[in-house]
């Protein structure tokens, strides 16, 4: 059954508009009587039957609702140093499939790409769309939220109180990820800070330790590219707490 993001949810019906409506009508060529699945980002999923197709809207009658157990039980956020466009896109798409809860793009000292003003807003909107499409494809019922491009000083208030911070750092020799996770409580969110292509400055790692209480950890003796490190760390954290 095809999946759609619900534009408006009523008691017994939901409506699809905009690109969701156009995709249903023009690409999939569904017609009244066909069944579809709808999700509204609340964690619920609805089975509907198409009642009416109009110029701007498709009306579906709800025939059943479900709360599928597809979302990770541990909230894991990626905080990614701004890297070149396609790398961020890749991390957002794959991170969504793996189950990340959200991603915050972070301006760092070695970020080659620096996004400001309306350009930053446009880019975040594009990244949100990628997260949205990947959510649909991977049957998620809650899309990860892509935050605005932020700076170090913004971080403490960007994520919920009680967030536990990790900073994978290639210069870290002793602390392994598993031993840090052993001290973490999976009931509280976990944020993983990953550097840009050129990595973090040592001062940024110190700042993360001091201001966020981040644990710096090694992902092994090999240097990974930023996007590999992001996905490896995400996978390891989700796997450690039983979500993969």
By the rule CB under 6 A, 95 interacts with ligand SAH: no
* DSSP one-letter string for 86-145: HHHHHHHHHHHHHT--EEEEE--TT-S----HHHHHHHHHHHHHHHHHHHHHTT-SSPPE
| Chosen residue from 100, 180, 226, 236 binding ligand SAH by CB under 6 A | 226
Residues in a beta bridge with 77: 102, 191
200 is a contact residue toward ligand SAH (CB under 6 A): yes
User: From the CB of 97, what's the least distance to ligand SAH, in Å?
Assistant: 20
Q: Cα dist. 35→9, 14, 19, 153, 238 in Å?
A: 16, 12, 18, 48, 33
Measured over the CA atoms of residue 199, residue 102, residue 186 and residue 188, the dihedral's sign is positive
219 touches ligand SAH (CB under 6 A): yes
Q: Phi and psi dihedrals of 181, rounded to 5?
A: -65, -25
Determine how β-strand 35-39 pairs with β-strand 8-9.
Answer: unpaired
Residues 179-198 that bind ligand SAH (CB under 6 A): 194-195, 198
Number of residues near ligand SAH (by CB under 6 A) = 16
* 88 in contact with ligand SAH (CB under 6 A): no
- The reply to whether 70 sits near ligand SAH by the rule CB under 6 A is no
Nearest partner of 48 among 95, 91, 110, 1, judged by Cα: 1
In this complex, which beta carbon is closest to ligand SAH, that of residue 60 or of residue 229? Answer: 229
Q: Which residues pair with 60 in a beta bridge?
A: 14, 50
Nearest to 167 by CA among 213, 105, 235: 213
Q: How far apart are CA 166 and CA 212, in angstroms?
A: 9
Stretch that binds ligand SAH, among 59-67, 70-78, 136-144, 163-171 (CB under 6 A): 163-171
> Is 155 near ligand SAH (CB under 6 A)?
no
Under rule CB under 6 A, residue 113 binds ligand SAH: no
Question: In the complex, what is the shortest distance from the CB of residue 232 to ligand SAH, in angstroms, rounded to a whole number?
Answer: 8
Report if residue 53 touches ligand SAH, rule: CB under 6 A: no
Residue 168 lies near ligand SAH (rule: CB under 6 A): yes
Using CB under 6 A as the binding rule, whether residue 165 contacts ligand SAH is answered as: no
If one asks whether residue 14 binds ligand SAH (CB under 6 A), the answer comes out as no
Selected binder of ligand SAH within 220, 239, 242, 244 (CB under 6 A): 220
Q: Is 41 in the site for ligand SAH (CB under 6 A)?
A: no
Q: Nearest residue to ligand SAH, using CB? A: 195
**Cβ atoms of 41 and 211 closer than 8 Å:** no
Query: Applying CB under 6 A, which residues contact ligand SAH?
Result: 168-170, 194-195, 198-200, 218-220, 222-224, 226, 229
């Amino acid at each position: 059954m095809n999946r759609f993001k619900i534009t408006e949810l009523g008691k017994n019906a939901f409506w699809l508009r905009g690109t969701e409506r156009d995709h249903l009508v023009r690409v999939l060529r569904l017609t009244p009587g066909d069944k579809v699945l709808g999700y509204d980002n609340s964690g619920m999923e609805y089975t509907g039957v198409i009642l009416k197709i109009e110029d701007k809207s498709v009306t579906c009658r709800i025939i059943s609702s479900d709360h599928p157990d597809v979302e990770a039980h541990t909230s894991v956020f990626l905080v990614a140093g701004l890297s070149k466009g396609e790398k961020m896109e890749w991390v957002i798409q794959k991170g969504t499939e793996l189950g990340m809860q959200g991603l915050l793009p972070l301006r760092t000292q070695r970020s080659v790409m620096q996004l400001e003003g309306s350009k930053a807003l446009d880019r975040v909107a594009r990244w949100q769309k990628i997260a949205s499409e990947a959510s649909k494809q991977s049957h998620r019922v809650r899309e990860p939220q892509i935050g605005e491009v932020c700076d170090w000083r913004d971080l403490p208030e960007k994520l919920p109180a009680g967030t536990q911070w990790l900073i994978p750092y290639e210069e870290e020799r002793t602390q392994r990820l598993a031993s840090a996770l052993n001290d973490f409580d999976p009931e509280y969110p976990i944020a993983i800070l990953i550097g840009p292509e050129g990595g973090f400055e040592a001062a940024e790692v110190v700042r993360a330790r001091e201001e966020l209480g981040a644990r710096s950890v090694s992902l092994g003796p090999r240097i990974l590219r930023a996007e590999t490190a992001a996905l490896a760390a995400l996978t390891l954290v989700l796997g450690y707490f039983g979500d993969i």
